């Protein structure tokens, strides 16, 4: 059979035959596809279309022969590091090193299957990781393989349509008013500004409180400006070690202004006079990192007879807001949530009680006297 042009041959029967790489087996063996036509240009045009459709697996096999670990490290260095905040990079790096590479890293990326990802999810579930944590890990892997698809090293992402464990719909924990009063009484005895009081009356996260400076508070305009957060992230080169990073908030909605009310303002001004640090919550004249705050918090809760973690204070702030009739959009802005939906999903039970009250109030206005007389 005479060859005419690249991968186009003239057969003995007078027709032209075009050959293209359609796929490869798991062992790397080429699977060819064929097209036929009476004219050379007809076959050539068909080949051009088919090669554009099937050149992705060809490219993945011929150009990227490395393991998933090789790709992930390349992706982290050249895609993630250049486009995200340091804290986001550290979070991605930690998930890759702690979870993804130990289980899937040795596999060739081009040969990854949907079943491999399903097995990985099952493995993570057996590690007693929460559904939220598992979703975060798979999200990182999916982003990495999406990039491989964009660069045409994969034809499809094996993470697509993987079934993830559902979040447990546990009720958001918040203190009762009586428990809150007990905790406040102990917290107000602290010699310096208490992170407990700040969390209960601003709803700020522990990292935001750690990074809060006196210069972030405008006592004239009565505004608390949330402009940075203090986080502990995984170190590169040693996933077992961590380091502190003082960074701007992760999202634009987290970067926010919180109104400063009169009682809290009076409390902060009194503590500012005796402060020897630029940070509201200090340790050795510098910031107090979240670990230090949690250590102090444990002592306070023991005195108050409460077994809670620090994040409960944020939930308590939100619950008190709901009880006072604060609308969901306002609450979402105060908490720095990325969407109103996130606020609704988190505090749906508390808001349900408010909705019941609202319906009852409207219902009381329904006068059925005349209707009931007609019925009787």
| DSSP per residue, 104-152 | HTTSBGGG--HHHHHHHHHHHHHTT--HHHHHHHHHHHHHHHHHHHHTT
The whole-number average pLDDT for the span 281-305 is 96
pLDDT at 28 (0 to 100):
57
Q: Which residue has the tokens 């491989």?
A: 148
Residue 24's contacts (CB-CB under 8 Å, 6 or more residues apart) are 30, 31, 57, 58, 61
229 contacts 248 by C-beta, under 8 angstroms = yes
Q: What share of the chain has pLDDT > 70, as a percent?
A: 90
Q: What is the pLDDT of residue 62?
A: 44
Which of the two residues, 53 and 160, has the higher pLDDT score? 160
Q: What confidence score (pLDDT) does residue 165 get?
A: 92
Inform me whether the pLDDT recorded for 159 exceeds 70. yes
Tokens at residue 58, please?
A: 């060809």
User: Rg for the chain (alpha carbons), in Å?
Assistant: 30
The 3-state DSSP composition of the chain as helix, strand, coil percent (nearest 5) reads 55, 15, 30
Query: What is the arithmetic mean of pLDDT over 311-337?
Result: 94
CA–CA distance from 267 to each of 44, 138, 246 (Å)? 80, 45, 26
CA dihedral sign, ordered 167, 170, 171, 175: negative
Tens-digit pLDDT profile for residues 313-325:
999 999 999 989 8
Average pLDDT estimate for 171-198: 93
DSSP label of 14: S
Q: Which residues pair with 244 in a beta bridge?
A: 232
Average pLDDT score over residue span 202-231? 96
Taking alpha carbons only, the member of 347, 318, 341 closest to residue 331 is 318
Q: Do domains 68-150 and 177-359 have the same CATH topology?
A: no
pLDDT of residue 231: 86
Specify the CATH class of 68-150 in words: mainly alpha
Q: What is the pTM of this model?
A: 0.70
Break the chain into its structural domains and give their ranges. Answer: 2-63, 68-150, 177-359
Q: Give yes or no for residue 370 having a pLDDT over 60.
A: yes
Kindly report which listed range (102-116, 186-200, 341-355) carries the lowest average pLDDT score: 341-355
pLDDT digits (tens, 9 = 90+) for 63-122: 578 899 999 999 999 999 999 888 889 889 999 999 999 999 999 999 999 999 999 999
pLDDT at 117: 97
pLDDT digits (tens, 9 = 90+) for 352-369: 777 777 788 887 878 777
Measure the CA–CA gap between 40 and 38, rounded to whole angstroms. Answer: 7
Q: Which residue has the higher pLDDT, 56 or 264?
A: 264
* CB contact at 8 A, 103 and 120: yes
Q: How many helices (H) and strands (E) does the chain have?
A: 17, 11
Q: Give residue 47's pLDDT.
A: 81
Beta-strand ranges (E) seen in the chain are: 2-3, 8-10, 16-24, 30-37, 217-218, 223-226, 229-235, 238-247, 256-259, 282-283, 286-287
Instruction: Using the predicted structure, report yes or no on whether residue 43 has a pLDDT greater than 50.
Output: yes
Nearest to 62 by CA among 32, 33, 30: 30
Structure tokens at 225: 């400006």
Give the class (CATH, top level) of 177-359. Answer: mainly alpha
- For the ranges 52-66, 122-136, 210-224, 284-298, which has the lowest average pLDDT? 52-66
- The answer, yes or no, to whether residue 11 has pLDDT greater than 50, is yes
């Amino acid at each position: 059979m005479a060859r005419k042009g690249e991968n186009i041959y003239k057969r003995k029967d007078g027709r032209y035959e075009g050959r293209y790489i359609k796929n490869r087996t798991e062992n790397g063996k080429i699977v060819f596809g064929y097209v036929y036509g009476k004219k050379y240009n007809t076959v050539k045009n068909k080949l051009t279309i088919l090669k554009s459709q099937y050149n992705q697996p060809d490219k993945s096999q011929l150009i990227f022969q490395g393991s998933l670990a090789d790709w992930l490290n390349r992706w982290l260095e050249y895609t993630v590091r250049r486009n995200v905040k340091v804290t986001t990079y550290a979070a991605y790096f930690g998930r890759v090193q702690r979870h993804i590479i130990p289980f899937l890293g040795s596999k060739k990326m081009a040969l990854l299957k949907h079943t491999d990802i399903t097995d990985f999810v099952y493995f993570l579930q057996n590690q007693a990781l929460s559904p939220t944590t598992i979703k975060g890990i798979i999200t990182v892997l999916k982003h990495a393989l999406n990039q491989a698809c964009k660069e045409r090293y994969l034809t499809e992402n094996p993470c697509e349509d993987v079934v993830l464990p559902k979040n447990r719909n546990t009720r958001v924990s918040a203190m009762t008013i009586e428990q809150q009063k007990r905790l406040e009484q102990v917290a107000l005895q602290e010699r310096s500004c208490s992170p407990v009081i700040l969390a209960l009356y601003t709803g700020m996260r522990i990292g935001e409180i750690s990074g809060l400076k006196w210069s972030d508070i405008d006592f004239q305009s009565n505004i608390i400006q949330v402009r940075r957060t203090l986080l502990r992230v995984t170190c590169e080169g040693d996933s077992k070690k961590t380091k502190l990073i003082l960074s701007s908030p992760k999202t634009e909605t987290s970067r926010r202004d919180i109104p400063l009310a009169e009682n809290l303002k009076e409390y902060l001004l009194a503590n500012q006079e005796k402060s020897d640090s630029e940070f509201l919550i200090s340790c050795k004249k510098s910031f107090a990192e979240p670990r230090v705050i949690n250590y102090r918090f444990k002592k306070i809760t023991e005195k108050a007879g409460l077994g809670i973690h620090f994040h409960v204070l944020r939930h308590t702030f939100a619950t008190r807001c709901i009880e006072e009739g604060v609308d969901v959009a306002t609450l979402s802005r105060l908490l720095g949530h990325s969407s109103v939906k996130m606020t609704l999903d988190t505090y749906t039970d508390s808001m349900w009680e408010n909705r019941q009250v609202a319906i009852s109030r409207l219902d009381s206005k329904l006068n059925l006297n005349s209707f009931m007389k007609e019925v009787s």
